[in-house]
């Protein structure tokens, strides 16, 4: 298997800079997510990988093969990649098996080899019993699996996925996350997955490229993004948490309880710190020595309550608690740890 190398890739549409000098080194067999809000350039980057858009600058390599540069553009059919679209893009008049086998027919594959490869692709997505049905007879999740089988049937080096779960309801999306993870384990294909949903990216990807306004903001594992986001923007985009100013620490440092509590009580506070709700201990009987907060509102989440708190200085804080509290109630807080952030650029 070959790795995918994106080197300083830029894409302009007239005066608009859609992708700005993006560089990623994707390992063979890796599951990578391009994550960011609408308009951040992630789908444009995926389309440049597929060959549907030309790059304005930079280079894209698959192994030793140059796929794209400002002076070279290998067409999509020569890139050994397959793409799964948000809309599924299935032929309604064809059976499931014919939809899956369509790319093989375009390549002139016929007979026993054709039947074998279609059968293998359907088996990988557990759809062999549905081979003769039409897409109209399938659920949304099953149609998405047909689209996956169709892209697998040509044995691509890279599978590109453009928000493939966006059209599904929440329950089906959760089920399909398991299907995608299983699909990746069985095929060992290199996968690049575009999404604006951070929970999808965190659940599926080996590494995540967080994008904002065409630029790469952070490139890391899901755990690193959650525990050690670089900037306040990434911290607010990934997971839940509160950002406070403290008089302690430096960017990239983890503050433990004693230093964090002292830094929060100081008069001049200039260092932004992320505190996740699971690192806040709430006590319902404060004393005059404690850091206190007022309960503004709470949200029941089944296994716990989310407490929306307000510190005396006006800062908002999110914490968890096993029981309901009264709105307006004063509580004491112990902040177990916090992560020091870089300023947003």
**Domain ranges, ordered by start, for the chain:** 4-232, 240-340
- What is the three-class DSSP state of 127? coil
Residue 92 β-bridge partners: none
Q: Residue 219: name the closest of 228, 211, 209 by CA.
A: 209
The CATH fold assigned to 4-232 is Rossmann fold (3.40.50)
What pairing do the DSSP bridges indicate for beta strands 330-335 and 16-26?
unpaired
Kindly calculate the radius of gyration of the chain based on its CA atoms and give it in whole angstroms: 24
pLDDT digits (tens, 9 = 90+) for 63-120: 999 999 999 999 998 998 988 887 778 889 999 999 999 989 988 999 999 999 999 8
pLDDT for position 49: 97
pLDDT for position 1: 66
Return phi, psi of residue 148, to 5°: -65, -45
pLDDT digits (tens, 9 = 90+) for 250-269: 999 999 999 999 999 888 89
Residue indicated by tokens 């549905």: 130
Of the options 2.40.50.140, 2.60.40.10, 3.40.50.1980, 1.10.10.10, the CATH number for the domain spanning 240-340: 2.40.50.140
**What is the rounded average pLDDT of the residues 20-31?**
96
Q: In this structure, what token pair is assigned to residue 243?
A: 């950002």
Residue 59 β-bridge partners: 7
pLDDT for position 239: 93
Return phi, psi of residue 26, to 5°: -100, 125
Instruction: Dihedral sign for Cα 251, 256, 261, 266, please.
Output: negative
pLDDT for position 221: 98
Residue burial 168-182, b: 16+ Cβ < 10 Å; e: rest: beeebbeebeebbee
Question: To 10 degrees, the CA torsion angle through 253, 256, 259, 260?
Answer: 80
- At residue 121 the predicted structure's pLDDT band, cuts being 50, 70 and 90, is confident
Q: In this structure, what token pair is assigned to residue 44?
A: 């444009």
pLDDT for position 319: 97
DSSP label at 254?
E
pLDDT digits (tens, 9 = 90+) for 148-203: 888 888 888 899 999 877 766 677 677 777 777 777 887 788 999 999 999 889 98
Instruction: Indicate the average pLDDT of the chain.
Output: 91
């Amino acid at each position: 298997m070959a790795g995918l190398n994106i080197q300083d890739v830029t894409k302009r549409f007239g005066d608009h800079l859609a992708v700005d000098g993006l560089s990623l080194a994707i390992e063979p067999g890796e599951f990578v997510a391009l994550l960011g809000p609408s308009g951040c350039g992630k789908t444009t980057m995926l389309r440049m990988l597929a060959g549907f858009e030309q790059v304005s600058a930079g280079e894209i390599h698959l192994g030793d093969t140059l796929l794209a540069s400002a002076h070279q553009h290998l067409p999509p059919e020569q890139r050994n990649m397959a793409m799964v679209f948000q809309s599924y893009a299935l032929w309604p008049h064809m059976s499931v098996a014919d939809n899956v086998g369509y790319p093989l027919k375009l390549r002139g594959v016929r007979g026993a080899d054709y039947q074998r490869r279609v059968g293998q692709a359907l088996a990988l997505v557990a759809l062999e019993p549905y081979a003769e049905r039409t897409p109209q007879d399938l659920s949304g999740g099953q149609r998405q699996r047909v689209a996956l089988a169709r892209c697998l049937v040509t044995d691509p080096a890279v599978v590109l996925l453009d928000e493939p779960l966006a059209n599904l309801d929440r329950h089906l999306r959760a089920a399909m996350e398991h299907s995608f993870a299983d699909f990746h384990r069985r095929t060992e294909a290199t996968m690049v997955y575009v999404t604006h949903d951070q929970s999808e990216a965190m659940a599926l990807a080996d590494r995540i490229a967080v994008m904002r306004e065409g630029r790469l903001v952070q490139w890391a594992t899901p755990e690193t993004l959650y525990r050690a986001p670089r900037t306040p923007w990434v911290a607010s985009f990934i997971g839940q948490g509160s950002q406070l100013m403290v008089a302690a620490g430096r960017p990239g440092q983890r503050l433990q309880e004693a230093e964090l509590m002292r830094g929060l009580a100081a008069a001049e506070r200039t260092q932004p710190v992320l505190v996740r709700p699971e690192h806040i201990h709430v006590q319902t009987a404060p004393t005059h020595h404690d850091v206190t907060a007022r309960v503004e509102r709470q949200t029941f989440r089944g296994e716990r309550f989310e407490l929306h708190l307000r510190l005396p200085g006006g800062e908002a804080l999110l914490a968890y608690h096993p029981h309901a509290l009264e709105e307006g109630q004063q509580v004491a807080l112990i902040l177990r740890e916090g992560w020091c952030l870089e300023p947003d650029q």
